[in-house]
């Protein structure tokens, strides 16, 4: 019996992938599996996504790309690297600056190249004033440029006019690149929220991440996605606490009445952030109980009141997922985003897969 595990529902991964594939229509679906498939595990997730319609995979680093390359037959593109870093065999590469392009030229890279252009997010990509230099340089050198890519800053706000500002900039970039003779067949701007809400921003392919794991990327919306991850721990003990007694370090919380507290087998070494403390519930037996006191390295406590439902040592405790708070609820309560919540389980957590 495991003390701490994430349960990954592969049927939910398949459902979400096929849903997004149908939604993007004729565009190619680039499934983003960076950060070990958003902490869901690439070895099991990548084959499921490919079988459900993924046309390509996107990752951050070359190390991630090499790992995914061994799992699939479709293209794999990486976009987070430093100039001079060797490009692994069989990997497509995104170039976010003129310096990166020069590095690829100097290394005589023949792999497919995606030029990343900045359209207004101001995080990565070739600035507009450098587009002409970048496109001319790539064309003269004969780089195998297959498309442009950029990233939306406000896609989770579908009506935000800045999305249209960025789309217009992206179209300008495509026009200028083609004027230099670059043959662009795989341009992509839309991420998960844009793919779900702004079909007009779909180009040749969509770069979809969080939606594939069943997490809703647009606050307050529902697009029929199925969360794939649940994080479950165990009740280690049930302790009697008298009214007015404090629990955990600093005794920062005191019992409002005589009752019981359950000790749960997870802590900040496993990814339960101290920033969450006092702001989330845990599910036990289909009922939710408030976390109380300070989160410790290996454990935390929840208040059971007079424990009318007989919570006992060994019971399963759902930190998020089926039977407890959703990752999105936990994120909203803790003042963060569901992306971060599913990336949190670590330490002694291991994965269990269901089909």
- List the catalytic residue out of 21, 38, 249, 353: 249
Mean pLDDT, all residues of the chain: 97
Map tokens 């647009």 to a residue.
Answer: 218
Q: Taken in order 123, 124, 127, 128, is the CA torsion positive or negative?
A: negative
Yes or no: say if 237 and 262 are a contact pair by the CB < 8 Å rule: yes
- List the catalytic residue out of 34, 38, 268, 289: 34
Q: Is the pLDDT of residue 68 over 90?
A: yes
Give the three-class secondary structure for 192. helix
Could you give the domains of the chain? 10-213 (3.20.20.10), 229-353 (2.40.37.10)
Q: Is the pLDDT of residue 336 over 80?
A: yes
Is residue 144 very low, low, confident or very high in pLDDT (cuts 50, 70, 90)?
very high
Q: What is the pLDDT, as a whole number, of residue 340?
A: 97
Q: Average pLDDT in the 12-37 region?
A: 97
Q: What is the pLDDT of residues 185-237, one digit of tens each?
A: 999 999 999 999 999 999 999 999 999 999 999 888 888 999 999 999 999 99
The radius of gyration of the chain from alpha carbons, rounded to an integer in Å, stands at: 23
CA distance 263 to 33: 34
The answer to whether residue 249 is catalytic is yes
Q: What is the pLDDT, as a whole number, of residue 124?
A: 92
Q: Going by C-beta distance under 8 Å and a sequence separation of 6 or more, which residues neighbour residue 70? A: none
Segment (H or E) for 134: helix 131-141
Q: What is the pLDDT, as a whole number, of residue 307?
A: 98
CA distance 148 to 34: 20
The answer to whether residue 38 is catalytic is no
CA distance 321 to 126: 40
Q: Is the pLDDT of residue 1 over 70?
A: no
Is residue 351 marked as binding?
no
Is residue 355 very low, low, confident or very high in pLDDT (cuts 50, 70, 90)?
confident
CA distance 108 to 37: 31
Q: Is the pLDDT of residue 352 over 90?
A: yes
Q: What is the pLDDT of residues 267-321, one digit of tens each?
A: 999 999 999 999 999 999 999 999 999 999 999 999 999 999 999 999 999 999 9
CA distance 143 to 161: 34
Q: Average pLDDT in the 324-346 region?
A: 96
Q: What is the pLDDT of residues 19-31, one digit of tens each?
A: 999 999 999 999 9
Q: What share of the chain is helix, strand, coil (3-state, %, to 5)?
A: 30, 25, 45
Is residue 64 very low, low, confident or very high in pLDDT (cuts 50, 70, 90)?
very high
Is residue 123 marked as binding?
yes
């Amino acid at each position: 019996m495991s003390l701490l595990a994430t349960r990954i529902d592969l049927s939910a991964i398949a459902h979400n992938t096929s849903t997004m594939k149908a939604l993007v229509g004729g565009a190619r679906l680039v499934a983003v599996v960076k950060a070990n498939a958003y902490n869901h595990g690439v070895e099991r997730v990548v084959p499921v996504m490919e079988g459900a319609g993924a046309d390509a995979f996107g990752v951050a680093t070359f190390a991630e790309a090499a790992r995914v390359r061994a799992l699939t037959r479709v293209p794999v593109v990486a976009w987070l690297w430093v100039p001079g870093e060797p490009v692994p065999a069989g990997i497509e590469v995104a170039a976010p600056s003129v310096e990166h392009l020069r590095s690829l030229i100097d290394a005589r890279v023949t792999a497919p190249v995606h030029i990343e252009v900045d359209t207004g997010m101001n995080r990565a990509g070739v600035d507009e004033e450098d587009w002409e230099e970048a496109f001319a340089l790539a064309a003269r050198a004969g780089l195998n440029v297959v498309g442009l890519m950029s990233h939306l800053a406000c896609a989770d706000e579908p009506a935000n006019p800045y999305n249209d500002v960025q789309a217009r900039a992206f179209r300008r970039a495509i026009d200028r690149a083609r004027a230099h003779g670059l043959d662009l067949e795989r341009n992509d701007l839309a991420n998960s929220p844009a793919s779900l809400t702004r079909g007009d921003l779909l180009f040749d392919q969509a770069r979809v991440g969080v939606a594939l794991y069943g997490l809703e990327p647009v606050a307050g919306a529902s697009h029929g996605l199925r969360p794939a991850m649940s994080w479950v721990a165990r009740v280690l003990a049930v302790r009697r606490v008298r009214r007015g007694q404090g629990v955990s370090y600093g005794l920062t919380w005191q019992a409002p009445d005589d009752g019981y507290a359950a000790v749960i087998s997870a802590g900040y070494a496993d990814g339960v952030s101290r920033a969450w403390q006092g702001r989330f519930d845990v599910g036990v037996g289909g009922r939710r109980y408030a976390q109380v006191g300070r989160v410790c390295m290996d454990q935390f406590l929840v208040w059971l009141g007079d424990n009318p439902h007989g919570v006992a040592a060994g019971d399963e405790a759902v930190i998020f997922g089926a039977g407890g708070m959703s990752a999105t609820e936990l994120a909203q309560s803790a003042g963060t985003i569901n992306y971060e919540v599913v990336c949190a389980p670590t330490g002694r957590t291991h994965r269990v897969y269901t089909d």
